[in-house]
Each structure stands twice: as C-alpha cells, then as structure tokens.
Amino acid sequence: MSGAPRLADGARRLVAATNNGGKLREFRRLLVAHRWDVVSLAEAGWTGALHEPGVTYAENALAKAAAVSAALQLPALADDSGIEVDALHGWPGPLSARWLGPNATDEERLAGLVAEVDRRCPGERHVRYVCVVAFCRPGAEPVIAHGECLGTLTEPCGDGGFGYDPAFLSDDLGVTFGAATDVDKDRVSHRARALRRLAESGVLDPTLGAP
C-alpha cells in the first residue's frame, strides 16, 4: 500500500474521512510520527456518502469528520481545501473540486482553471492553497485547524501530487508541487501546516485516552 509505513504496536486507529486517495496518502505520511494508524473509509467499514453542505472550508471539513466519527465511534479526520486566485477574490476556493461539475477530472479542472484565469485576469496568477482540517472524537469537542501556502499558477509541470499540484508553483520551494518530492511538499504544504497546527492543540497526543 502506498504512503507512509503503517503502524501496528502502540498505534491508535484514525479514520481518514476522504474518498481522495492523494489526501489519504498525505494524511498517512504526515501523521505517522503521531502514532496514529490512519485507515481509509473502506478499511473502517464506512459505506455511506460524504457530504459537503457548507459554504466554507471549516463547515465542510467538520461535516465529514463528525458524520464518520459518530457513525463508526472512532476518531475521524477530514479536510476541505482549495486553491484561491487573488485577482478573483479567492475563487474558486471551497468550490475548487466542483466548479467544473461533478464528473470533471483533476486534469480537466487544472486546465480549466489556467484557461479561466487567463481569460478573466490575464497576467494575474498569484494564488494560495488553503486547507482546513477537522478532528472529531466521540464524546469530545471537535478541533479545527487552518493552513495555507502561497504560490503562482503556472503551466503544469511534474506528475506528482494531485489536484492542482502540477500548476501550483510554490513560493517556498521554487518548483510546482507536482515536481516536488513528497518530503519537500510535506514541509510547506497547506495540508502539512494545518496538521501541524492541529498537533499544536494537543489533540493528536498519543497518550490521550482513546474513546
């Protein structure tokens, strides 16, 4: 199985409330040091659908994590993330995975966004990646954390990552997330920063009693 090494002894189960394989791999890499055994929805026995009923990242992340945690009576982690074009006042933002319709592929959304930016604000390609993560446990208050990173929308380069990564030229790295190594991306990405802030809250402490 791809992603970070799976833990066994001493690890606690955490359900990744996502159907996105790229996010699952990143969660596993980023949380391995916190002694969580991050399992997929299928591995946890979830058979329902995930819904994003809100208009903000936080509302959507919380809805997914809360539903999965309540149904499975396990800790659950979800995120909602997107790319925001400064010149378009943050569009597409929380609509990043849906603005081109429910059946569009990553490649179609990426090419469509580049074309849309060139049409509506040519030459204005400053963007940011935003991620909000929500951590829910039975019997405990949810915890939410935010992370973001800055970059420039560019012509696609690299076949790594997922989503808009090949067209996100990172200010921190000087290469696109699609061309970056996992190690480098995990140092500076919006998802990594959100999870670091979540860890700072103490909720990922492996000594906490599991419900």
User: Catalytic amino acids?
Assistant: 80
Residue 32's alpha-carbon distances to 27, 29, 132, in angstroms, are: 8, 6, 19
Going along 52-125, which residue ranges are E strands? 76-85
Contact 206, 33 (CB under 8 A): no
Closest CA to 97 of 162, 40, 27, 161: 162
Q: Within a 10 A sphere around the Cβ of 70, how many other Cβ atoms?
A: 12
